[in-house]
Amino acid sequence: MKSLIKIFAASAAALLAFACQPKVLPVEISVQLFSDNEVLAQNGVTVSLADAAGTATFEAVTDAAGIAKFTVNPGSYTATATFKNVENGKRVVYNGSNTAILVAAGPAEAPFKLELQKIESQQLIIKELYSGGCMKNDNSSAYQNDKYIIVYNNSEFEADASDLVIGIVNPYNANSSNRYYSGDNLVYANENWIPAGGGIYCFKNPLTIPAYSQIVIAVFGAIDHTATVSASVNLANAEYYWMANTDIPGYTMAKYVAADVIPASHYMSGYQINMGTAWVLSNTSPALFIGKMDAASLKALCTNTDAFDETAGTGNINWAAKFPKANVVGAIEVFGAATLDASHYRFPSDINTGYAKLTNQKGYSLYRNVDKEATEALPENAGKLVYNYALGTQDVDGSTDPSGIDAEASIAAGAHIVYLQTNDSSKDFHQRKLASLKK
């Protein structure tokens, strides 16, 4: 009996202690949109609020003052928002996030600020990046000399791509040690440059890309890779371009090769920035950008070693050219699927936010999502758009094109595709099960 009494007493004490604990009461907060540090009074924008643990997401719509209201428990949250508009005849996207929303107990005195970056649509964009390779026929190892990049004219006007340049940002892998961080911040986040490493490629001859058209750029082997690895891609096409090593003496690796069908006029040129025998486009997690720069300026940027950045260390193995942010026209940040927790952003938020996840060695590519609204609005697309897109890796790695439009099938049917541009790689790209050149 004494034992039972003790048990009842202990239980009662525990219940009393629990009852006496202060209750966690929900708090009403608001988030207000800003752009260029001024209130963005935009009605009807959906704002998402996610808790730090990733267990809950809330959504609310802004009122005429650009304010969205939530009722949440105290804690740490991230607010995000994206919306599209047409201003002065140009498509514009507003996109941004605030990762430092700390909700305390009690009423919030003022709205939390959500700064959105205004992104005007660019003509030239990165449509697809294939860099992870595939497995050899006997599955003994990966084959990764078949990398390619597709640049697309995302507009109804012809685009001059003569001054287009292609580069990568240090470090080459997202999960590598990154000396460009001070605490949680990139040291060049508020500067006017990004650290371009490896080398920067350019075109030798004038180049125009017709409306809603593309160019394919073979990185190392402009050959038919399927002749030796069936899961690979055929890059032996007279219309393709090749990032040649012919003008870069330091790039001596044997994987640089071009088929006879590639005309010499399609050999790209470039400059080596730091030591290496090949351009280092990561197999797992590259940070790739395209920019515009005239030949004289590019030569000065890439050959004036006195102006190179040495944050990553002294000596030419660590050099980076300070590529001006103002000259960047597009970027994709990639994290390796196997190393997400160890990865760090290399692009500052005013160039790109978010990352595209890549599972390499499976023949997957990173393909840009379709801007559904803009594509469906083109009158010439009536009856030509193909839906029920099924080439995303949502069943494997949780990635697909949310528009549901099969871009490549629609192009084959004569449609013009407008691709999404938010400057957020997580929103702009998905992982495709099959590189588009394999259809």
* Boundary residue ending a domain (120, 138, 164): 120
Of 120, 137, 170, which residue constitutes the final position of a domain? 120
Q: Are residues 143 and 60 in the same domain?
A: no
Quick one: what percent of the chain has pLDDT higher than 90? 84
**Is the pLDDT at 91 greater than 90, yes or no?**
no
Instruction: Please report whether residue 210 resides in a domain.
Output: yes
Say if residue 86 is in the same domain as residue 139: no
Residue 85 and residue 128 in one domain: no
- The arithmetic mean of pLDDT across residues 138-154, rounded, is 97
Which of 120, 149, 170 finishes a domain? Answer: 120
Same domain, 96 and 200: no
Residue 89, pLDDT score: 63
pTM over 0.95: no
Residue 2 lies in a domain: no
Residues 176, 282, single domain; the answer is yes
CA distances from 280 to 270, 277, 293, 393 (A): 14, 9, 21, 26
**pLDDT interval class at 25 (50, 70, 90):** confident
Residue 12 has pLDDT above 70, yes or no: no
Range 338-359 average pLDDT: 96
Same domain membership, residue 289 and residue 240: yes
216 Cβ partners below 8 Å, 6+ apart? 148, 149, 150, 235, 237, 239, 240, 241, 437
Strand 193-202 versus strand 269-272 pairing type: antiparallel
Is the distance from CB of 432 to CB of 366 less than 8 angstroms? Answer: yes
Burial of 286 per CB tally in 10 Å (0-12, 13-18, 19+): buried
Residue 186 lies in a domain: yes
Cβ(245)–Cβ(268) below 8 Å: no
**194 & 242 share domain:** yes
Residue 16 has pLDDT above 50, yes or no: no
Residue 419 pLDDT more than 50? yes
Q: Which helix (H) or strand (E) holds 394?
A: helix 394-397
Q: Which residue has the higher pLDDT, 85 or 350?
A: 350
Phi-psi region of 30 (alpha: psi -120 to 50; beta: other; left: phi over 0): beta
Please check whether residues 291 and 324 belong to one and the same domain.
Answer: yes
pLDDT digit string, tens, across residues 187-241: 999 999 999 999 999 999 999 999 999 999 999 999 999 999 999 999 999 999 9
Domain of residue 177, residue span: 124-369+419-438
Does 88 or 133 have the greater pLDDT score? Answer: 133
Helix, strand, or coil here: 438?
A: helix
Q: What was the pLDDT predicted at 92?
A: 84
Residue 413 forms part of a structural domain: no
Residue 129 CB-density burial (10 A; 0-12 exposed, 13-18 middle, 19+ buried): buried
**Within this chain, do residues 230 and 306 fall inside the same structural domain, yes or no?**
yes
In the predicted structure, residue 4 carries a pLDDT above the cut 60 = no
Q: Return the CA Rg of the chain.
A: 25
Instruction: Note whether 234 and 272 are same-domain residues.
Output: yes
Residue 7 maps to a domain: no
Is position 50 within any domain? Answer: yes
How many separate domains does the chain show?
2
- Whether residues 60 and 131 share a domain: the answer is no
Q: Amino acid identity, residue 344? A: H
CA 208, 209, 214, 215: dihedral to nearest 10 degrees?
A: -10
Please report which helix (H) or strand (E) contains residue 102, including its range.
strand 90-103
Least confident of 9-13, 60-64, 407-411, 431-435: 9-13
Is the torsion defined by CA of 286, 247, 201, 274 positive or negative? positive
By the 8 A CB rule, do 331 and 151 touch? Answer: no
Whether residue 305 lies inside any domain: the answer is yes
Question: Which pLDDT value is given to residue 1?
Answer: 45
The enclosing domain of 47 has a CATH number of: 2.60.40.10
Q: Does residue 90 lie within any of the structural domains?
A: yes
Half-sphere exposure at residue 223, Cβ-oriented, CA atoms within 13 angstroms? 15
pLDDT digits (tens, 9 = 90+) for 236-245: 999 999 999 9
Give the number of other Cβ atoms within 10 Å of residue 294's Cβ. Answer: 13
Above 60 in pLDDT, residue 3? no
* Rounded average pLDDT over 356-367: 98
Tell me: do 219 and 243 sit in the same domain.
Answer: yes
